[in-house]
A and B are shown apart, each in its own frame.
Chain A
Amino acid sequence: MNHPELDQLSDFAEGVPVDADAREALERHLADCPACRGEVEWIRSLRDQALRLRGQEVPPPEGLWTKVEAGIRAREGVLDLDRARERRGGGWGRYALQAAAVLFLVALSSFAALAILRSGSEPSGAGPSVAGQEGPGAELRFASAVEEMESAYGPAIRELELALERDRGNLAPETVEVLEENLRIIDQAIRDALAALEADPGSSAATGLVGGMYETKLQVLQQAVRLAREA
């Protein structure tokens, strides 16, 4: 017995229109072939069940809103920058405003990182690297969190850094100076947040801080590349 192609059975099961002759031939085959009939029934049943997955709900991790809020904060800084640009018709003021927004964010992050480090180091009085949860499990969790962060942000950040390197000649030297200062401060904030995470690898607040700072760096780089291209 010649069986229809799997594509034909799928189309039939899904109700994809085919010409009347082909449909009639397929229906004749299905009447005599339990295997192909079973395949069609399976596809129909699977698609019915699949539709129900769409309404599924799973509670998100607790710290997620904190990370979203950090990203929005970063975005708000960029929006302020755009509004300032409209008011000022471009020019130096927008970079100063961006610097202020970024510095505000980073200052918040550093305070929070410090708070986590302090709370983690109180019981032992030891330094950040041994505070909080100790042992190979904590180290593994920290390494895994760093790896995940790197995999989530690293490629995009490096791509933007390359793009910025290519187009930085379009920007005024003062602008480059401000951007580099911002990026240097953000990198320091990332290091601070990572130290907090290392001290307490299970802390969703520390994870949120690291994610928020990476997100900030990403946003600033995106804005810088956009400015360089528009210049």
Chain B
Amino acid sequence: LASTAAPLEQADPKALIDRARNGHVPSFEALYRAHAPRVYALCLRMAGDPVQAEEWAQEAWIRAWERLPGFRGESAFTTWLHRLTVNLILDRRRGDQRWARRFESVGEYAPFEGSTSTNEAHPGVRMDLERAVATLPEGARTVFLLYDVEGYRHQEIADRLGVAEGTVKAQLHRARKMLRERMDR
């Protein structure tokens, strides 16, 4: 497919969605160009790793292409795409046994000493939330992002990840405590 998205980027978003829904790939590419930075940022936050984030973003966009015919416009396209991406990530996490074992390991908590963080170069400087979140262990980071950023409830997170609700709460408390240590410095 030749890249013909440039002029389409100026087009009405609803028209782009309608055309992409009918299989017009250049319109879908224009939607990709407009929304890819938000989708990728979400994947990067959740993955904490650019390679994994790219894989998820790729899968999310392919899933969006597949499911676009079912998008009726009840919610904004951005909201629909955001939810679709989060759901895809949760699906992938749920099927990953190695990740599940890492997620469950709440007992390995060690107080933050400041020696491994990104504020090492500037002792005494507060770490912003984005960087502090990136330093969290996987379980704590995932639950914090799903609960405090994405607005999922404890039980919903537990169901989607296939873990106990108590584990989700423990990971959330752990995340908040670790973030406070990192950001209060």
Instruction: Give A residues with C-beta under 8 Å from B.
Output: 6-7, 10, 42-43, 46-47, 49-51, 53-61, 64-65, 67-69, 71-73, 75-76, 148, 152, 155, 211, 215
Contacts and interface: CB of A to CB of B under 8 A. Distances in A.
B62 A56 contact: no
Contacts, number: 97
B41 A58 contact: yes
B157 to A, nearest CB: 14
A50 B40 contact: no
Contact of B66 (A57, A75, A155): A75
Interface of B: 1, 23, 25, 28-29, 32-33, 36-41, 44-45, 50-52, 54-55, 57-59, 61-62, 65-66, 82, 95-96, 129-130, 133, 144-145, 148-150, 169, 172-173, 176, 179-180
Nearest to A38: B180
Contacts of B65: 68, 71-72, 75
A53 B176 contact: no
Given A64-B54, A211-B58, A72 B25 contact: yes
A39 to B, nearest CB: 9
B28 to A, nearest CB: 7
22 contacts: A6-B173, A46-B180, A50-B148, A51-B149, A53-B129, A53-B130, A53-B145, A58-B37, A58-B41, A58-B44, A59-B36, A61-B40, A64-B54, A64-B57, A67-B54, A68-B58, A68-B65, A69-B1, A69-B25, A71-B58, A72-B62, A148-B55
Contacts of A10: 172-173
Interface SS of B by simple majority: helix
Contacts of B1: 69, 73
B62 A68 contact: yes
A76 B61 CA distance: 14
Nearest to A13: B176
Given A56-B41, A57-B37, A64 B58 contact: yes
Contacts of B145: 53
B90 to A, nearest CB: 16
B180 A60 contact: no
Given A55-B38, A75-B66, A61 B173 contact: no
B45 A56 contact: yes
A61 B50 contact: yes
A75 B58 CA distance: 13
A132 to B, nearest CB: 20
Contacts of A152: 52, 55
